[in-house]
Amino acid sequence: MTTVVYNAEEKATKARFEAVADEVVDRLSERVTQHVAFLVSAHSFFAASGGNVPKAAFKTFVSGLDLEARFEGIQGVGYARVVPAAPLAEAQIAAVLKADYNIHRGVWPETDQNTRTPIILLEPNTIRNAAALGYDMYSDNVRRAAMQRAVATGRPQASAPVQLMQEITDTKQAGFLVYVPFFKKDASGGSNRLDGFLYAPFRAGDLHANALERFPKPPAVIETFDEEGDEKALLFRSPDFDEVAKDSEQVVKRSMEIAGRTWILKIHDSKEFRNKSKKLGTMALGIISILLAGALAATTWSQFKALSTARQMQAMSEKSLQDKDMMLQEMKHRIKNSFSRVNAMARQTAANSETIDEFSTSFSARLQAMANAQDMLTRSHWERADLRELLSKELEQVFGMSPGENKVSGPSVELNERATQALGLTFHELATNAVKYGGISEEDGDLGVHWKIQGRGKSRKLVIDWVETSGNSIEQPGDAGFGTRLIDANIRGELAGTIERTFKEDGLSIRITMPLV
């Protein structure tokens, strides 16, 4: 009996620790994926501007991403220009750095290559990032290999571990960089030529710490290697890894793909995890001992229960592996969709913007609306998001304050992933239009959003009434702008719903009807 219970407990402990390890890996992958998405959006910004992006516009764009406040690990977004290794070209780079950052610095270090890729833009403009300006990344073998892969594949590519040029403090971390090549048409308008690289530097230690931040006491220590063929390089090791690993009872090994590189993670359970597991095991064995002392019948029943539990644990373990594969496939699908949305939105916003500042403001706001919806879904493990919370977040982003209870009302509604992302962008566009054209910002302007559920079962529908009132009438526009087309595409195309707009003397009423699943 004791042996059976002990084996069942060991399987349960192993399953719990594998779940912890999988969560750490998923959070790491999610963070890097988010950062790469921002790098892709920066590439779209450059493409929309024809590659002519002034320092002020680039600073405005990166500031809108709010990297320092919301994303641990990434140090910024930068641009390295491709120039020949010649005195005239290097002098031009020095002039750019002097004009944009007031830094008296040339291209460095010395190189034996015919090509240079000095960093000419890097935001946010912190003391750490300023130390890297002018650095020729092509002079380093590891960075050069990643850039060459990026050019060959045309996709984001990560480097092997390096020490970042930003590491000017005493506490240094290993890092890595992700590159996206930017091609620009030559002066004659002919074929594209390689103009430079959008890139992002990462601190590996901060990324791993963020993956463990939700645990009050870390249940594991981690050792991460970057592997390519027979070669491997240490990327991260927990400070007390050796001491904890020698006493560990659970060890899990995982691999993950990061922008063309393979990371191997070795995860050991910590003392905190073992103490929690042993406490539960001791309690279980104590109860079983009491049952053994009671009667033979109780013992027989307990054996049966233990065997059943062992089988269930084995089934759970097998199902966990299947679920993990399914989640990885689903994550790849969602990442691909997110990249497509960002690129399409960047192109359309650029086509409907007259200046770079207008593009940066509109695109950053729409990107933030997507980020709000994704954040709500991530916190619920990509399952459901609350309609009231989603609406309130978007209204607060546009108006700068949360709406009162009498302005926003309706029953509790949980939205699936598709509805959350589509309605998040829709609410953002409606609120932006209300400020621009609806007179909401005027003294007599007002906004109310109310919703209800019609029907039952599979025929249920969500009806949302968006009502704007003002002292002036709102005229129906002659041509639909990008925002209106985006709303219609989300409601009619994404959600198979309908949208009705009624223009009145005292404002505008919009009714959205969509299936509720």
The CATH number of the domain where 187 resides is what? Answer: 3.30.450.350
Specify the residue for token string 């130390």: 131
The answer to whether the CB of 137 falls within 8 A of the CB of 147 is: yes
Q: Residue 368: which of 389, 340, 398 has the closest Cα?
A: 398
How far, in Å, CA of 339 to CA of 155, rounded? 12
The answer to whether the CB of 264 falls within 8 A of the CB of 225 is: yes
Q: Residue 6: which of 269, 312, 280 has the closest Cα?
A: 280
Q: What is the pTM of this model?
A: 0.58
Domain boundary among 187, 202, 217: 202
Asked, for residue 305, whether it belongs to a domain, the answer is no
Domain boundary among 174, 202, 230: 202
Instruction: Please state the three-class secondary structure of 287-323 as a single string.
Output: HHHHHHHHCHHHHHHHHHHHHHHHHHHHHHHHHHHHH
- Which two three-digit tokens encode residue 191? 């074929």
Task: Produce one character per residue of 467-479: b if its CB has 16 or more CB atoms within 10 Å, e if not.
Answer: bbbbeeebeeeee
**Helix 2-48 vs helix 204-211: crossing angle, to nearest 10:** 130
Q: CB count, 10 Å around CB of 77?
A: 26
Asked, for residue 331, whether it belongs to a domain, the answer is no
The answer to whether the CB of 424 falls within 8 A of the CB of 395 is: no
- Which two three-digit tokens encode residue 394? 């978007």
What CATH number corresponds to the domain at position 399?
Answer: 3.30.565.10
How far, in Å, CA of 51 to CA of 74, rounded? 23
Specify the residue for token string 């995982």: 254
496 — alpha (psi -120 to 50), left (phi > 0) or beta?
left
Asked, for residue 282, whether it belongs to a domain, the answer is no
Asked, for residue 460, whether it belongs to a domain, the answer is yes
Asked, for residue 78, whether it belongs to a domain, the answer is yes
Q: What is the pLDDT of residue 114?
A: 96
Amino acid, single-letter form, for residue 408: V
DSSP state of 443: T
Q: What is the pLDDT of residue 179?
A: 97
- Structurally, the chain folds into a number of domains equal to 2
Q: CB count, 10 Å around CB of 66?
A: 13
How far, in Å, CA of 437 to CA of 455, rounded? 34
Amino acid, single-letter form, for residue 393: K
The answer to whether the CB of 298 falls within 8 A of the CB of 304 is: no
Asked, for residue 269, whether it belongs to a domain, the answer is no
Q: How many CA atoms lie within 13 A of 292 on its CB side?
A: 10
Domain that holds residue 186: 39-202
Domain boundary among 168, 202, 236: 202
Three-state DSSP state, 134: coil
| One pLDDT digit (tens) per residue for the chain, 517 residues | 556 666 777 788 888 889 888 988 888 888 888 888 888 999 999 998 888 999 999 999 988 877 765 556 788 999 999 999 999 999 999 999 999 999 999 999 999 999 999 999 999 999 989 999 999 999 999 999 999 999 999 999 999 999 998 876 667 889 999 999 999 877 666 668 999 999 999 999 888 888 777 677 788 999 999 998 888 999 999 989 999 999 888 999 999 999 999 999 999 998 888 777 654 555 555 555 565 556 566 666 667 777 777 677 777 767 766 766 665 565 555 565 666 667 667 776 776 777 887 787 777 777 777 777 777 776 655 568 899 988 988 888 887 776 766 789 999 999 988 888 889 889 888 888 888 877 676 767 888 999 999 998 888 999 999 998 887 777 777 667 778 888 888 899 889 999 999 888 888 899 999 998 7
